[in-house]
Chain A
Amino acid sequence: MTKNLRVKSSEYIDETNRISFKFNGKTYHGFKGDTLASALLANDVHLVGRSFKYHRPRGIMTSGSEEPNAIVQINPGTNRTEPNVRATEIEIYEGLEASSQNCWPSVEFDIGGINNFLSPFFPAGFYYKTFMWPASFWEKYEFFIRHSAGLGKSPTSSDPDIYDHRNVHCDVLVVGAGISGILAAKNAAKNNFKTLLVDEKNELGGSTIFENNEFNKIENKSPSEWLKKEIDELKSIRNLEIKTRTTVAAYHQYNYLLARENLTDHLETKDKTNKIRQQLLKIRAKKVILATGALERPLIFNNNDRPGIMLSSAIKKYSEFYGVACGSKNVFFTNNDSAYESALSLYNKGINVEAIIDIREQSESKIVKKVNEAGIKIYWSHSVVNTAGYKRLNSISVMKLSNDGTSVTGNKISISCDCLGVAGGWTPAVHLYTQSGSKLKFDEEKKVFLPNQNTSEQISVGSCSGDFKIDEIIKNLNQKLKDTLNIKLTDLDNIKVEVDQENSKRNIWLLPSDKPVGKTKPFVDYQNDATAKDIKLALREGFRSIEHVKRYTTTGMGTDQGKLGNMHALGIIADTAGVKMGELGTTTFRPPYTPLTFGTIVGRNVGKFFDIFRRTPMNDWHVENNAEFENVGQWKRAWYYPINGESMHQAVQRESKAARESAGILDASTLGKIDIQGSDASEFLNRVYTNAWSKLAVGKCRYGLMLNEDGMVYDDGVTTRLGENHYIMTTTTGGAANVLGKLEDYLQTEWPELDVYLTSVTDHYATASLCGPNSKKILKKIIPGLDLSDENFPHMSFKGANIENIQCRIMRISFTGEHSYEINVQASYGKDLWEKCMEAGKEFNITPYGTETMHLLRAEKGFIIVGQDTDGTMTPIDLQMDWIVSKKKYDFIGKRSLYRSDTMREDRKQLVGLLTDDPNTVLEEGAQIVSELDQSPVEMLGHVTSSYFSPNLNKSIALAVIKSGKDMMGKKLFVPMENKNINVTVSNPVFYDEKNQRLNA
């Protein structure tokens, strides 16, 4: 049985457009324009959730993004479900379903509610203290805790929506479209500043748009009427872009702001498809005007969290903006005049206001007089000491406050009510301001933190800068606009404002009760269930820093970041510890201001766009021939080509044998290629490689090893001299970009005098590597005119040639130890080249092989792979590659480091071969190597870096790095595995064709 609490037709609610929605399985009705919260309140539903720790029933507290309690799961069980949505922000649409979070089995009957009665056992630091107990306790409670705790459920299927990112540049960004923001944006745009105005709500105007204080006038009109006219005028202003439903989530340095624009969340499900749901705006603004307003503070008193207890300003908004009464018997509890406006709003609509409890001694303002005249009882110098009603407030107890405000006296008065509006004054919303790095100052008189030291081109205007009266707001705004925009005239210069507003306030952070604090529940952080008692306990236990108290009590650590209660937490700490609030500082407000969906954060970078991958020109052929692929850097490389259901092992064994017995072909297009030109190119190579380059003849190739300045191997590859001043360098596939970056760095910063130009040409060439004893015959078929004799075209040399009329570069170089050719053509001919080789090689059973076989073949030859057999701690000497380090060259990158005491140690890890005693046992790469089995702990001598079963040698082979390995030839060692110990013998790392006879076979 629900009541209808609609009080009048509001201009923001379309009563002709009736909407049905479900909450916790029950169908309700609301109207277009309602939020879920306003629609529930219109149906007299306050109970919307359970608190995190004690599972106390909680109701809607606010009307905006600061809401701590009314967080719900939207459309549960669907792929569009979303947890932690604030009911005060989501606009209802036909078919919307929402359910309470944090309660099990249901919001009405909640098992966790028992925690409420056990609360003496849940003090501050409960989690830290409890779970230090035996681990077995945790398991016992896990089932219970998992069901009863947690904030909502994440969707289990993929998100059907589209998200986007957009870069936005503007002269002036105005955040917040209340009265200050609107006037600021209007004047900026009119003065030819490209202006963007954003607001999290769907309507412009902030709280002034429903301002009902009849004693305030702008140009003889009510502020709301006047502001509506201003808003109408915005439409015709050039240079002004307005984005509603747009929340600035983060304000970074250099006026870089991130905002989330909500485009479809308010639409019916059928209208959401194929549209961008949310857009992340990456805004770079020359100037930022923060007009983020202020948040009303609650009051902290015993049992201040029952459903039906709300912010006074929220009650006013529900009444004026949504046309909803939050209760039928209303009471307000206040320390300032704001509550009187809310009371009058209800009174004027004929809704019962029982009383106002005011902790001040008196107020002389006109609005208070008006409330008095209306016959509403005001209890001056009184405080609420307790409340009653489990799932809905039904009464409050009131007592007289002592003069110093620390205790209560006299009789306890009980007032029956179903809604209590609390008004504790206003806190400027300085979250974004502090995110930008700017500094706050505490205003002892107003009891608020205010902007003080700006670090970027920014101003704060309106109530977020501490101006709460309309006349102050307009006057200060006008001056700030002139200063920051450097303009002389604004349309605010001659505005007539009349205000009768009292700012008097009596600030008591923690209101006393007739019970001692230890026996009360004055909630400071509703979402995380932190009470004033917890904060005091933390201080008693020795915590002093606000950041520590926050973590220990979890105050301010919920999804709302404690927007309501942070100031009270600080105030209570300051009062208890006897320090000034200004000295205490604040906790850090971190982005995002309100939570962002993962979808918004990642934008379009999902699925195949999550990480870009690169494919070679031959890729289609590999796919058509059932290649399995492996990721190398961003490249998709053919890994092996299984035939007839072969396993990887079977395929690799077949490919490896074929390459040595007849012919193999590898797609080597991914190798990095850097074109090097300039009159100092040879000198440059001398400096970046360990070996000498000056004497390399044109048309010859040479293998080079590149070190870091610390002497460790960085990259390797073959470089070919194409002309007197022209080389082409190849790098490892994964290292290409970094090598280019490093070479550019040296060229630009250390050796700017060298005449050398570097160009990345990796993507410009496709490379097919033909190898095996029949490779020569195959190449001869493809290019009949080319003299392939060893005299004319020996190993480590280069020829330019044409395949038909396509130019190609052919290097006779080998990474397998076989007679091989690398044929490079313009990338677009890559697949043609490959197919030609396959066609020509048919009679020789040419076998395409992938990276796995390439690795195996080179391991048979003991060739290293940088990044597999090296890990940034291996010098060329460690790798037994002394032969490639020039003794004659005066200097090269890393040379000096090869003579450091550490790099010259004899007991460094060195690259060796390993043979298993059982030739069929293949070691695991990464396996540890020891010399003793019955010792514990045992010294780890090194590890296996590469390991394969060699079909050509018919035994297991491995490369490893072992301390003093060079001196261990023939030594027996052990590789202990989980279930067995493997006996191994240290060997020469070259397992196959040690004399390199096959290169010329």
Chain B
Amino acid sequence: MIKKEIQVKADLLGSNKAVAATIREKLSQRGILTLNLISSPGAGKTSLLESLASRIRPEHEMAVIEGDIETERDAERIRAQGIPAWQIKTGGACHLEAKMIGKLFPEIPSELDFLFIENVGNLVCPASFDLGEHIRCVLLSSPEGDDKPKKYPKVFTTSDCLLITKADLVPLLPFDIERAKKEALEINPALQTFVISSLTGSGLDEFVEFLKISLQNLRQKYA
């Protein structure tokens, strides 16, 4: 019997990163701006997508991939807005992985402008898995409290964009919007921040403007 020490130095998420990079490249070639929405359960991801539908169409085409542990409910909510949606049921897994998106890829129409991926409601696990998105958005709803960024640093440091949601509830809560922004920007100064309410529609126009500019930038880069 021989004993041997093997030096490896391999990234444990290397296979996920490789699949994600392939997906991102294909999406970029097709000019489809892709977003990965991450938040704790119930922060308002599906509600945001529902209220974006009428603001994005008819000028632009959007589609949605829904990730949930169980049920088709979120995909059905999106389809009710006339938007194509695919439901991924993870069957217990607390996050989406790039290979799950890869499997769906053949079904995604190529004439899209925006593809939204709604991750499983969880502020921790999805942060470690690149899905091939161009923009990662973390949603923080006002009832969750303004102290969350430093308690869940991974998701806030890896995101490009912070959406403070349920702004309409802020007057009822001890939630300090400036404190939440400051906490988040201290650990990620590059975050683009938006304060929105899907219920009243406040802040959504600014966010849609940001999406359109990001789409233009992507297409210029890949033209």
User: Are chains A and B native binding partners rather than an unrelated pairing?
Assistant: no
